[in-house]
Structure 1
Amino acid sequence: MRAVLVLYFKYFLLWDDDLATSIYHTFVALCYLTPILGAIVADSWLGKFKTIIYLSIVYAIGQVAMAVSAIHDITDTDRDGKPDNMTFHVALSMVGLLLIALGTGGIKPCVAAFGGDQFSDSQDKQRRTFFSVFYLCINGGSLLSTIITPIIRAQECGIHSKQSCYSLAFGVPAALMVVALLVFIVGSGMYYKAEPQGNIMLDVCKCIWFAIRNRYRHRSKQYPKRTHWMDWAEEKYDKLLIAQIKMVLKVLFLYIPLPMFWTLFDQKGSRWTLQATTMDGDFGALVIQPDQMQTVNPILILTLVPIMDSLVYPLIKKCGLNFTPLKRMTVGMFMASIAFVCAALVQIEIDKTLPVFPSAAQSQLKLLNMGNNPITVQLPGNETTELPGTMASLDYFTFESEEIMVSIGTPAVTKLVSLAMGKRQTLLIPSDLVEEWLMTDDLTSKPDEGKNAVRFVNGMNMMVNVTTPSVNFGLTEPFYYSNYSLIKSGTHTFTLWSDTQSCSFSMAFGFGSSYTFFIGNNLFSDCLKSITVVQDIKPNTASMALQIPQYFFITLGEVMFSVTGLEFSYSQAPSNMKAVLQAGWLFTVAVGNFIVLIVAELAKLPKQWTEYVLFASLLVAVCFIFSGMAYFYTYIDPTEIEAQFKKKDDEDDDDDDQKSKPQKAEMEMVKRGSVDSDD
């Protein structure tokens, strides 16, 4: 669903880029904050099995709400040109997203932990295999969704007009969620269902608070020093609970640097996709759209997980190296930083191919001769330009003033032309220079989603309609121009017609270009020669294949960091706090999403590649910190520690029983009268 969510915000709800991005990252952060609630409910009240069922229902309802919110025809507008009833649809979308965040967050810590519960303490190898298969399944679904959901969205549907079918893109996941829930319920009889241990989270919070308060209360008095600050809770709480809390806090302390990894990782769905919109997706036999480049990640996951588990890790072990889980996670973080260095290098190559757009203090102007005869043009600060008939200047002229004097023809006709600062414009020069000179607003950025922007300038004295199988450009008035329309890459056939006359021509498009087609006077007598193609923005030339190395390194980092982290969190968690520790792991993802917004907002770097280098540098610094923390970490066996405390408690109970035996015997003798009660 996330694959099309930003597009839904931008093109259906008509939000701007900043608002769409902010709401998107806020939603993702909520999805990884709510696991704390799910863990509390699972460990303290319902148990993992029931929590998964109930919150999956909430999840499905949220998806249905999103699907219903997208059933709307945005061509029905009010006086201000805004869609009618949009407030209702925005509100329903937000409710749907909140339900989805609650549902997905609630089941996230439970599913992995519930799977781990199915294995006994002696099945470490099988449990490790499960977590790998579990991650493979997640990424198998990710691969399918990244391919299929954009295809579903691209289908045309609508009440009165054809538009992207977001309702179907949200509705299909809703239906599949219901199917998945039914399959899970059918297997109920095969599962081991651990009973909830009571409100363990509340007990943990009370115990920690008592330890802190007790230590603070006795800070200035002569009391025996405690080995650990949690030992100050021994006066009130069970030693087993204190030991379990120590285990959890020890792991949570290690989690502090981890959000920085997710800060980089989650940008592959935003920054890297935007980067792909400025690249060429033509791979020869295969043409990739910018948002489909994300499929490289799950494909590599499905490939690398079995290779790492069955080949790389065993080979490292045979070499005598102790490649512990924390060492794997450290290397994974370093791989992610390398990925962003690769992204920076790719961005530098892209920047070489991008046009130079005007700054806020500049304006750019292109000339288009609509007449059949050549003309001479004199612009301030430039040499006299010879412009052939029905032709445009090759490049834009740059000015740093709001008004310029333009002289055209012989004898010269001079006019004062007003320019828009920070914009590109095209001056349409009519054949009769005395007539009005039109000025068009051109694009000052690459077209969205790697598409191509196309418009028509009508140089005929009659209305011309332009259509393609996918786009209707509508009627263009005589000696006027149409708005830009976006078309995908590939070959498109344009049909131009007026009354009973028509002609067609075809043209192949790449990615991210902008064209102005000038329609000459002899259109219906010589179609091809009467169409002048003016290239305003060149198509992307940097191949999307350049992104493959960065996807490889980020995926390699994910395999070593995320898969290992899930297993590590489960193995180091006490038996009654596994879902809570899983929630703590997922919480690091939420923090990572907030860091993206904070760093990007504070840095405000002028070049995108410098931002990539900044994130890579931050992760390398965090990597060194984490490696130092991992060096001093001691691996534990929670089951063994819990067993020791339980055994000690049993022995203490036996000692108490032994001590109480003489007292019991004496009481018995008193009852029988053999011993004086006063004695």
Structure 2
Amino acid sequence: MEASDFKDDHLLKFKKIGNKYPVSVIILVVVIWLHTMCCNEVKDRLVNENYLQQIFEGAMIVLAFTGATFTDSWLGKYNALIGSIIFLIFTQITIIVKESLIKDFYISWIFDIFGLFFLSLAFCIQMSCEYCLAGDQFPLYQVKERKKIFSSLYLSTTFGILFADIFAHLIWVSKWFSKSYSLLLSGILMGTMSLILVTILWCKKFFFIEHPKGSALLEIFKCILFAMKNKLIHCSWKTPKRDHWLDWASEKYSENNIKAVKLFFRLLLFILPFPIFWALVNKQERKWDYQAIQMSHILYPNYDAIDLDSDQDVFQLRVSSSTWFKKEEILLEEKTIYLLILSGKETLYSITLMKEDYEKPENGLAHVRIFNTLDKDIYIMLLVDTFRLQKHNGYSPQLSIRISRKVNLFYMIEEKKEVLQLKAGLLKFGSSYLLFIIQHVPVVKIHKVKLVQVKSFSVAWQFPQLFIKDLGRYFLTISCMEFFYYEAPKGLKVTMTALWTSTLYSSYIIMNFVSYISLLPEWIEYFLISCILLSIITAFFIISYYYKESYRENPSSEFTIIGNR
């Protein structure tokens, strides 16, 4: 009796719903929803800085492969899922200890790193183990049922992320968040994760658990090294050639083992374009998010409406502290948006009223207004001209210029000439910015404010493209999960699935790297992105056209790497 026949006979003993779906997969759907919601809630609280996000993404790439290898070789999918929940509980413990006991900044930072490590382990194990564990609960012939469960798992993950985002948004918007409430929220999350752990342990009897039999990946590397070594030994022109260089391992390894190694390389070739593909997709998603913010009239300086008695009205503005008092009159016009800027110190405090600029900068330019809050004159130098910003003396000297979004600005203070660090790529085409020069020693520091212009378009115009994008992501994710579950050799299913899911996180690193080194005009940049994306899609078509799915050729057998001739 073959291994697959034994597995199918064993699965018939487990309780099923409607004679189709095992109870274990229904439990997994609910558990994954709660698990994903807790994971993302903890991630939103822990990963709150850009450098922490990059550390998390880098850890995900490394730990996804490492954790999957240990899962396939020694832990097993069921034990790895339990480990993922335990790591998530450890993450929450570090957050509770940090928020309730730690006051020192450096010790708090160390706790953040530990929390990120546990969170990365929980995340990298979660998705690949859950899908592969769910796939193991079905006999080989139940292809349709397995597809539906994979779809349910994806939707469960999506709704978990959605609920976590809504929950986090309600907390921050509603001013509920305080130290006591933070600890209460941590306690609720700890209780939920403990409930998930108890549920998985108590329902173990409903799961089919396939125990690992050692490192299949190690056997693959041994087969590769033996084939290379044997080929070098028999490199004479008199030696008959073989169809494939891996065929040189046939003296030691069986035909099935060599086929599995070839399959491993084919799967790696299939994974190869995905990091760049996801990077381009994520870059476009960020662009759509930015457009949605503009189209939905969500502005960054929050505006307050003031009722006027006529076309123009005068208002008194009073600014005071414990030691000084200042009063000014401001003239406001109807149907106009103003920016009120307070700068300086006490008696030299200035009040500047500035009309919002609606005119869109043309020809790839950005509108930049620079305010001098220092007590020294500043010279702003462009390639063709030099501008003087007088020192702050009871009013805010300002400079309004239109420049290319990639250009460098130079400044000079007391004969010291330096570059004004605007960070190339952060000035967007057709946007307006405020730069406040707030410090001189040891280096000039600026505070940059982006003004989002109000648009007349409804955000509903984005719904069709977002729907198509999310639908494409759904079909792609489900197809790839099913593909790797079927195609990966026995003992490598979690590993190959984790390699594919890690491309989602490697894409963020690629995108961040490209955004820092990009020096091209924006329209050229997006044209190149479109061309690269089209070439990658073409590569996918070519790979899929020539790829032969192994389980369709022989659906009743599974490759095994363990065991030589």
Verify same fold: TM over 0.5.
Answer: yes
2: CA distance, partners of 1:255 / 1:177: 33
| Residue 171 to residue 206, structure 1, CA distance change in 2 (3 Å) | farther
Q: Does 1:192 align with 2:208?
A: yes
Matching residue of 2:273: 257
Matching residue of 1:370: 328
Q: Does 1:86 align with 2:105?
A: yes
Give the counterpart letter for 1:218 in structure 2.
H
Matching residue of 1:640: 554
2: CA distance, partners of 1:419 / 1:399: 16
2: CA distance, partners of 1:72 / 1:440: 46
**Conserved 8 A contact 1:64-1:171:** no
| Residue 573 to residue 441, structure 1, CA distance change in 2 (3 Å) | same
**Conserved 8 A contact 1:67-1:169:** no
Q: Does 1:626 align with 2:524?
A: no
Indicate the RMSD between aligned Cα atoms, in angstroms.
4.5
Structure 1 residue 64: deviation in Å? 2.8
Q: Does 1:108 align with 2:137?
A: no
Give the counterpart letter for 1:602 in structure 2.
I
Matching residue of 1:616: 530
Q: Deviations over 1:443-493 (max 9, x none)?
A: 99xxxxxxxxxxxxxxxxxxxxxxxxxxxxxxxxxxxxxxxxxxxxxxxxx
Structure 1 residue 553: deviation in Å? 2.8
| Residue 615 to residue 185, structure 1, CA distance change in 2 (3 Å) | farther
2:469 partner SS: helix
Q: Deviations over 1:545-583 (max 9, x none)?
A: 343334223212202211111111112122332112212
| Residue 642 to residue 581, structure 1, CA distance change in 2 (3 Å) | farther
| Residue 585 to residue 395, structure 1, CA distance change in 2 (3 Å) | closer
Matching residue of 1:438: 395
Structure 1 residue 611: deviation in Å? 4.6
2: CA distance, partners of 1:272 / 1:85: 40
Give the counterpart letter for 1:120 in structure 2.
P
Farther-moved stretch of structure 1 (613-622 vs 564-573): 613-622
Structure 1 residue 6: deviation in Å? 7.2
Q: What is the TM-score with the length of structure 2 in the denominator?
A: 0.63
Q: Does 1:145 align with 2:59?
A: no
Matching residue of 2:462: 547
Q: Does 1:53 align with 2:82?
A: yes
Give the counterpart letter for 1:103 in structure 2.
A
2: CA distance, partners of 1:442 / 1:127: 64
Q: Deviations over 1:404-457 (max 9, x none)?
A: xxxxxxxxxxxx9956859x999999xxxxxx633288999xxxxxxxxxxxxx
Give percent identity, aligned residues only.
Answer: 24
Q: Does 1:562 align with 2:449?
A: no
Q: 2:507 pairs with 568, 573, 592, which one? A: 592
Farther-moved stretch of structure 1 (391-400 vs 150-159): 391-400
1:150-299 paired onto structure 2 within 5 Å: 150-154=169-173, 155-158=175-178, 172-267=188-283, 272-280=288-296
**Conserved 8 A contact 1:575-1:639:** no
| Residue 513 to residue 250, structure 1, CA distance change in 2 (3 Å) | closer
Structure 1 residue 56: deviation in Å? 2.1
**Conserved 8 A contact 2:378-2:390:** no
| Residue 578 to residue 400, structure 1, CA distance change in 2 (3 Å) | closer
1: CA distance, partners of 2:462 / 2:477: 21
Q: Deviations over 1:562-613 (max 9, x none)?
A: 1111111112122332112212212322332222123222224454x66555
Matching residue of 1:572: 487
**Conserved 8 A contact 2:42-2:92:** no
State which structure, 1 or 2, has the greater radius of gyration over its C-alpha atoms. 1
| Residue 71 to residue 612, structure 1, CA distance change in 2 (3 Å) | farther
Farther-moved stretch of structure 1 (597-606 vs 131-140): 597-606
Q: Does 1:125 align with 2:82?
A: no
Number of matched residues? 419
**Conserved 8 A contact 1:65-1:92:** yes
1:370 partner SS: strand
Q: Does 1:44 align with 2:73?
A: yes
2:116 partner SS: helix
1: CA distance, partners of 2:129 / 2:278: 21
Structure 1 residue 33: deviation in Å? 3.6
Structure 1 residue 274: deviation in Å? 4.6
Give the counterpart letter for 1:193 in structure 2.
I
Q: Deviations over 1:215-244 (max 9, x none)?
A: 233233532322222221122223322222
1:439 partner SS: coil
